[in-house]
Amino acid sequence: MIELEGVPELIDPVMICAFEGWNDAGDAASTAVGHLDREWKGEVFAALDAEDYYDFQVNRPTVALESGVRKITWPTTRLSVVRAENGEKTRDLVLVRGIEPSMRWRSFCNEILGYAHELGVEMVVVLGALLGDTPHTRPVPVSGVTSDPDLARTLDLEETRYEGPTGIVGILQEACTHAGVPAVSLWAAVPHYVSQPPNPKATLALLNRLEDLIGVRIPLGELTEDARAWQLGVDQLAAEDSEVAEYVQSLEEARDTAELPEASGEAIAREFERYLRRRDGQPGPGGHATESGGLVDGRDGPGTGSYLRDSTSGHTRPRKPSPKDEVAREESEGPDGDESAPEASDGTGTGTDAEAEAEAEAEADGNEGREGNTGDGDTGSGNAGSGDDRPDSHG
């Protein structure tokens, strides 16, 4: 029987879960939920019975002295609630933090879903972290997956295709799906060569992806500075070992090559939108992390014009301007577009409006239309009909 005495009526509640153990490389996921609990001063309202789910020879209880009295703390999973207020938006978060259970996983998930039902939870988000071949010098990859095709389209997530061994994160997500509760898993990739906890950079990446998902701004506290200090520390350790440094460089090259196609389209657009939202929210001097864990403080965040996407060719790197681009630019600065632009469109500075119109008409007919050129229009490099200098002819 679930008792919820002392729990107020919740506003648009979302349940956020993380479990220590196999699903929690570098303690990144459990630390993220702990950060939310600490920043918003969560109050524990329920705890699962440890006898039902844990092998105490695997996860042993701890003993401590409090005011001279010995107190035993049993490994378990606890639930707390926090209220996240962000200007005009207020939302309650139900935080579930514990250890991956040793047994009775189906009963464990059913009990958590019972609380979700009683509290009117609208969505369950499970955080996880895994070891991967990712360099510590690059932004932390965070993938959002779901088993619900409709939810994948609505929230721009990946529909999970994983096959293989799974942990309590995968089991809980499937239990939610079968119970009709929308569920999402966010996974951060932690460098396998620095797997020991803590990993504040991965925690930071998870929190910022979570922030985008639930639509509530999350206070980062000292995490930004902790992430910088962590990366500097790993940089120093890697520099002391030539083999490690060479290995990290190979990971960087592989990562950059693999992600080159991703530096365009929706990926860049989403990242830039996040940057603008956080800038408009006037973040502190520490800055905020991007979705993938990069730091936005004027140095490591996305630039305002580093990449421009050509919607027809799909190119993401700045391309060299062609002669036709120059003609188009000059024409766009003519009297009809910008009153402060020079009147001449042929680059000589002596044209008139009538001459500009005549040149445009001549170019449309396939002629060069430029003052001083007397060719037949078939050999000029500025021929608009040649097609050799179109911006996307090489795409």
Confidence of residue 225 (pLDDT cuts 50, 70, 90): very high
For residue 9, name the pLDDT band (cuts at 50, 70, 90): confident
Sign of the torsion angle spanned by Cα atoms 368, 369, 370, 374: positive
Residues in Cβ contact with 158 at an 8 Å cutoff, skipping those fewer than 6 apart: 143, 144, 145, 146, 152
Q: What is the pLDDT of residues 92-118, one digit of tens each?
A: 999 999 999 999 999 999 999 999 999
CA distance 283 to 219: 10
- Residue 343 DSSP SS3: coil
Per-residue model confidence as pLDDT tens digits over 309-360 = 333 333 333 334 444 444 444 444 444 444 444 343 444 444 444 454 545 5
**3-state DSSP of 367-389:** CCCCCCCCCCCCCCCCCCCCCCC
Q: Indicate yes or no: pTM above 0.75.
A: no
Sheet strands (E) in 32-167? 43-47, 62-66, 69-73, 78-86, 89-99, 123-132, 142-146, 158-159
Instruction: Write down the pLDDT at residue 48.
Output: 94
Rounded CA separation 18/168 (Å):
9
Per-residue pLDDT tens digits for 49-91: 999 999 999 999 999 998 899 999 999 999 999 998 876 688 9
Helix (H, G, I), strand (E, B), or coil: what is residue 258? helix
Closest CA to 33 of 98, 116, 91, 84: 98
